[in-house]
Amino acid sequence: MKNNTVAFLFALCPLVPAVVRLAYGIVLAVAFLWFLLTGLGIRELVRKLRPDDAGPYIEMVGIAASATLFTLALQWLCPILSVSLGLYVYLTAFSFIILVSIDYGSLKNGLFIPVLPFIPMLLAFSVIRELLGFGTVSIPTITGILEFTVIPGFEFWGLGFWGTAAGAFFLLGVAAWLIKFRQRKAFAARRQA
Amino acid sequence: MNQYLGSLFFYAFSCSAVLVYGIGLEKAVFESRQGSRFYAQFPGIIAETLASTAALWFLITEVLSPYGAVYLAPMAIVLVCGIFHVLVSLFVRAPKTPVTGERLFFFGTVFLATSEASSFTEAMLISIACVLSFYIVTVMLFAVRERMNASRIPADWRGTPLILVTMGLFCLVLYTPDISWWFTEVISR
């Protein structure tokens, strides 16, 4: 992995339209954990089969199958949320693959470790967007989502722009700047010490 | 005809497959770097995308859907796209190492086209629109990088942070014709 920060930001990009609420973020975080578990199993299977060049394709078919299983489980547990999220569960699978192979190598060279720190980042991003875009915090339920108003009077002075894809890119840009700023400061402090 | 043109413009610009769905976004960012030959990949990408979408459209609508096995579509997409990717790479010079980002963009495009379209023509148009969207965003990001290199920007903003903010602006700009009074009222008359 060349740069974890860049990998995290770009893995988040396919999910920008979906993680507009914490409820969606929680479902997609569970999807990520599911892909991590099944991904480890599929990789072990591929390693034992030794299919050479066909390996990455077999692995991707396996991840597509696990995304389908997750979608079926979501339709059974939270039917309304499964309609709202639609094809974003499959885009989460793409995001997972980006995360484990952002170095532009094949999946053979990918690492699963970055998936775990990515999940809190996904949840934090969805909380910030929901607070800035709607003034609420939500959790998934069988009948859809349950909203809690955190910022009262949001409909009068709130800016829904932060809930849009454009707003999300601005937030990601600011997050990337903050991370870079912190890294530079830490590097300078280490050099002085 | 207008409906088909509308679909093409919708997925290429106002609801850009790259910016709104994030399909091929990381590839666009990497390919917009100096020295990239992304334009040389165009014949291969468009050929395999159209061929895979056509094959999968019939597989899904004529085989999987009548037998209630639509849930097998994602696996079928990866398999069929994989076969076409290998076939096309026999004729078009491919990179020595398999590129995950390229495959994901290809799978995502075909997946979006087959899941969002209501007819075969629309599926093909969505595929073309996705590829167009990728090339438009890549060229725009290439121009932004050129401008960034020639400008005095604070070190912390250089690179990824400014690219992400610029993509936010692209989202707004590409969506403008859909809501602009000038386009909806003046030009339509």
Task: Render the burial of B41-57: b for 16+ CB within 10 Å, e for the rest.
Answer: beebbbebbbbbbbbbb
Domain count, chain B: 1
Residue B75 lies in a domain: yes
Tell me which H or E stretch contains B162. helix B160-179
Provide the whole-model pTM.
0.83
Q: pLDDT digits over A70-108, tens only?
A: 999 999 998 888 888 878 888 888 888 777 764 444 445
Q: Which domain holds residue B107?
A: 1-12+35-132
The residue of chain B nearest to residue A179, with distances taken between CA atoms, is: B156
B5 domain-assigned: yes
Pairs across A and B, CB distance < 8 A = 126
Quick check: is B179 in a domain?
no
Inter-chain touch A14–B22, beta carbons under 8 Å = yes
Q: What is the mean pLDDT of residues B110-118?
A: 89
Nearest to residue B17, comparing CAs of B119, B165, B138?
A: B138
User: Is B189 part of any domain?
Assistant: no
How open is the CA angle B45-B86-B54, to the nearest 5 degrees? 55
Q: What is the pLDDT of residues B41-95, one digit of tens each?
A: 788 888 888 999 999 999 999 999 998 888 888 899 988 988 888 888 777 665 5
Residue B21 located in a structural domain: no
CB atoms B164 and A102 under 8 Å? no
Collect all residues of chain A within an 8 Å Cβ-Cβ radius of residue B28. Answer: none
Joined together, the tokens standing for residue A64 give 């597509």
Q: Where is A170: in which H helix or E strand?
A: helix A165-192
Give yes or no for B61 touching A (CB within 8 A). no
Tell me if chain B has a CB within 8 Å of the CB of A168.
yes
- For tokens 């954990």, the residue is A33
Say if B178 falls within a structural domain. no
Q: What is the ipTM of this complex?
A: 0.82
pLDDT tens sequence across A31-61: 989 998 898 888 888 888 877 777 778 888 8
Chain B interface disruption, residue of A53, A101, A177, A183, most B CBs within 10 A: A177
Q: How many CB atoms lie within 10 A of CB B138?
A: 21
**Of B112, B79, B24, B60, whose CA–CA distance to A61 is shortest?**
B79
Q: CB of B112 within 8 A of CB of B126?
A: yes
